């Protein structure tokens, strides 16, 4: 069974400077941008997913260490491994994975880290439980915890339960961050794929005041004439 230091060394050796330089720009790591200070090795997601399959027995304590790595792809590896662990764990094991996730949200600090993991851990764990932790995350001062709350709702949406999505969306309706506007709009669009009437009922109450980006994401799959009605404020 490999230890965290061995896993990190293996990933560093697989890095590609050209891919890393592109990732530094794509994930907004310059001063003043949302990913400022993050470091990339330059490893594609399919490679990371394959490595997770090969290292499925890594201990939870080692995954905790990997989650604190300075390297973005090492943290992705840890998150993908936690998702894999969650999916085969018993109830106690799932609770452990969920708690590790919430204890390390400061390291789940870019949109791809959130989006590859939160619905499969936070959403899955809370699905049949009290949703207070979900709404607490939605009210966090952390951009990433708020995004965790919104994208976690994808699990509920896929189970045909749309209420949590609309509840979290309402909390985040006037958030200041563009990455939250995009997340809310995306989840509203996903909800609309399951129940368009429910999405449009939500939009009827809020489309005139929600951020433009959020609205555009939410209505992206609607017929062009209907989209124009929303955009022109005559829906």
48 confidence band (pLDDT: 50, 70, 90): very high
The answer to whether residues 198 and 156 belong to one domain is yes
> What whole-number distance in Å separates Cα of residue 178 and Cα of residue 182?
6
The answer to whether residues 88 and 185 belong to one domain is no
Per-residue pLDDT tens for 126-149?
999 999 999 999 999 999 999 999
Per-residue pLDDT tens for 15-42?
999 999 999 999 999 998 999 999 999 9
The answer to whether residues 99 and 23 belong to one domain is yes
Q: Per the structure, how many domains does the chain have?
A: 2
What value, to the nearest 5°, has the Cα angle with vertex 154 and ends 26 and 207?
80
Q: Identify the domain boundary among 88, 116, 144.
A: 116
Helix 72-88 and helix 4-13, axial crossing angle in degrees, nearest 10 = 130
Per-residue pLDDT tens for 82-112?
999 999 999 999 999 999 999 999 999 999 9
The pLDDT of residue 57 is 84
> Around Cβ 45, how many Cβ atoms within 10 Å?
12
> Around Cβ 44, how many Cβ atoms within 10 Å?
13
> What whole-number distance in Å separates Cα of residue 81 and Cα of residue 89?
12
The answer to whether residues 18 and 76 belong to one domain is yes
69 confidence band (pLDDT: 50, 70, 90): very high
| Mean of pLDDT over the chain | 96
CATH number of the domain where residue 150 is located: 1.25.10.90
Per-residue pLDDT tens for 180-205?
999 999 999 999 999 999 999 999 99
3-class SS string, the chain: CCCHHHHHHHHHHCCCHHHHHHHHHHCCCCCCCCCCCCECCCCCHHHHHHHHHHCCCCCHHHHHHHHCCCEHHHHHHHHHHHHHHHHHCCHHHHHHHHHHHHHCHHHCCCHHHHHCCHHHHHHHHHCCCCCHHHHHHHCCCCHHHHHHHHHHHHHHHHCCCCHHHHHHHHHCCCCCCHHHHHHHHHHHHHHHHHCHHHHHHHHHHHCCCCCHHHHHHHCCCCCHHHHHHHHCCCC
CB-count burial class (<10 Å; 0-12, 13-18, 19+) for 109: buried
The answer to whether residues 99 and 139 belong to one domain is no
The pLDDT of residue 3 is 92
The answer to whether residues 55 and 89 belong to one domain is yes
Q: Domain limits at 56?
A: 1-116
Helix 196-206 and helix 163-171, axial crossing angle in degrees, nearest 10 = 20
Give the residue-averaged pLDDT of 197-215: 96
């Amino acid at each position: 069974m490999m230890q965290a230091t061995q896993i990190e060394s293996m990933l560093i050796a697989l890095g590609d400077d050209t891919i890393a330089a592109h990732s530094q720009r794509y994930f907004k790591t310059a001063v003043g941008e949302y990913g400022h200070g993050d470091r990339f090795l330059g490893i594609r997601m399919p490679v990371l997913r394959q490595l997770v399959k090969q290292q499925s027995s890594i201990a939870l304590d080692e995954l905790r260490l990997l989650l604190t790595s300075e390297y973005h792809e090492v943290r992705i590896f840890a998150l993908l491994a936690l998702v894999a662990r969650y999916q085969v764990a018993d109830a106690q094991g799932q609770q452990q994975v969920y708690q590790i996730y919430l204890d390390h949200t400061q390291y789940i600090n870019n949109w791809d880290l959130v989006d590859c993991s939160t619905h499969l851990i936070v959403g899955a764990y809370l699905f049949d439980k009290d949703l207070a932790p979900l709404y607490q995350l939605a009210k966090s001062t952390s951009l990433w915890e708020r995004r965790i709350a919104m994208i976690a709702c994808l699990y509920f949406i896929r189970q045909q339960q749309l209420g949590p999505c609309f509840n979290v969306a309402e909390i985040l309706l006037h958030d200041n961050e563009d990455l939250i506007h995009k997340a809310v709009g995306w989840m509203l669009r996903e909800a609309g794929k399951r129940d368009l009437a429910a999405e449009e009922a939500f939009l009827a109450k809020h489309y005139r005041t929600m951020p433009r980006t959020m609205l555009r994401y939410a209505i992206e799959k609607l017929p062009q004439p209907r989209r124009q009605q929303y955009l022109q404020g005559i829906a």
